Amino acid sequence: MSQHVSCNECSLSPVCLPLAVAPAQLDQLDNIIHRGRPLKRGEHLFRASDNFEAVYAVRSGAIKTYVLSDQGDEQVTGFYLPGEVLGMDGISTAHHVSNAKALETATVCEIPFAQLENLSQKIPSLQHHFFSLMSNEIRADRELHMLLSKKNADDRVASLLLSLSARHQRRGLSSRVFRLPMSRYDIANYLGLAVETVSRIFTRFQQNGWLRAEGREVEILDRGKLCGHDPALEDSL
């Protein structure tokens, strides 16, 4: 497997950073990007104590980010799929504040932030796109805030399933059948629930005929009913 897929040849370019850069300038972006060796399941991309040097775009696999409280318990703060950018929470502090860990074998593009800032000075559309990315992150957090604050356990699980489905579709994959890259524990942790609760909800969704799940393989059988659990999502697909 070549580790030197340029942005030009990367199938993710329509959904990744290159979408903000004119073809003529794509080389400039391409030149600052480092493509590292694949991460194995469980390996860290960065840790909370590391200096903040770069942001990362997922090329394959999946990454989870999490923070540790002082008591040492973990809070999963996000799941990142191919084409998505992570690591932006470190900009203001010069060191990362969260940890990033591969949920499965994953490859990432490393984008040194200082150079990205320089390039953003020259390419306004890149600057704007990066503002947009961060703005999207904030917006997603607002929705998560509502999810955690107002929605019951069923709605939370349904919402995550539909979010993953939509993000698969964005990459041209099936929005109906896909594989969850994360464990039930990670799902529970992310959604502020107990694992047992998540497990029971998966069972109930299947009993209702809304979902088929075998381990991490899921098939969405009745999107409407899953949305119905959270009508706010009715139109999202």
Query: Can you give the binding site for DNA, defined by CB under 7 A?
Result: 41, 152-154, 183-185, 192-200, 202-203, 213, 215-216
* Residue 176 interface partner, choices DNA, a second copy, none, CB cut-off 5-8 Å depending on type: none
Q: Which run of H or of E encompasses 106?
A: none
Residue 200 interface partner, choices DNA, a second copy, none, CB cut-off 5-8 Å depending on type: DNA
Cα–Cα distance for residue pair 145/232, rounded to 1 Å: 14
Measured from the CB of residue 207, what is the shortest distance to a second copy in angstroms? 26
Q: How far is the CB of 230 from DNA (least distance, A)?
A: 12
What whole-number distance in Å separates Cα of residue 197 and Cα of residue 185?
A: 10
Q: Cβ neighbours of residue 225 under 8 Å, at least 6 residues apart?
A: 208, 210
What is the x/- site pattern for a second copy, positions 100-139, by CB under 8 A? -----------------x--xx--x--xx-xxxxxxxxxx
Residue 179 binding target from DNA, a second copy, none, CB below 5 to 8 Å by type? none
Site for a second copy in 141-180 (CB under 8 A): 141-146, 148-150
Write out the two tokens for 134.
Answer: 């961060």
State how far the Cα of 169 lies from the Cα of 236, in Å rounded to an integer. Answer: 11
Residue 142 binds which of DNA, a second copy, none (CB < 5-8 A, kind-dependent): a second copy
From DNA, a second copy, none, which one binds at residue 134 (CB under 5 to 8 Å depending on kind)?
A: a second copy
Tell which one of 61, 77, 82, 99 touches a second copy (CB under 8 A): 77
Percentage helix, strand, coil, to 5, in the chain?
45, 20, 35
Shortest Å, Cβ 39 to a second copy = 22
Dihedral of CA 71/72/73/78: which sign? positive
Sequence-separated (6 or more) residues with CB below 8 Å from residue 15: 83, 170, 171
CA–CA dist 49, 15 (Å, integer):
30
Give residues in contact with a second copy (CB under 8 A).
67, 69-71, 73, 75, 77, 88-93, 97-98, 117, 120-121, 124, 127-128, 130-139, 141-146, 148-150, 189-192, 231-232, 234
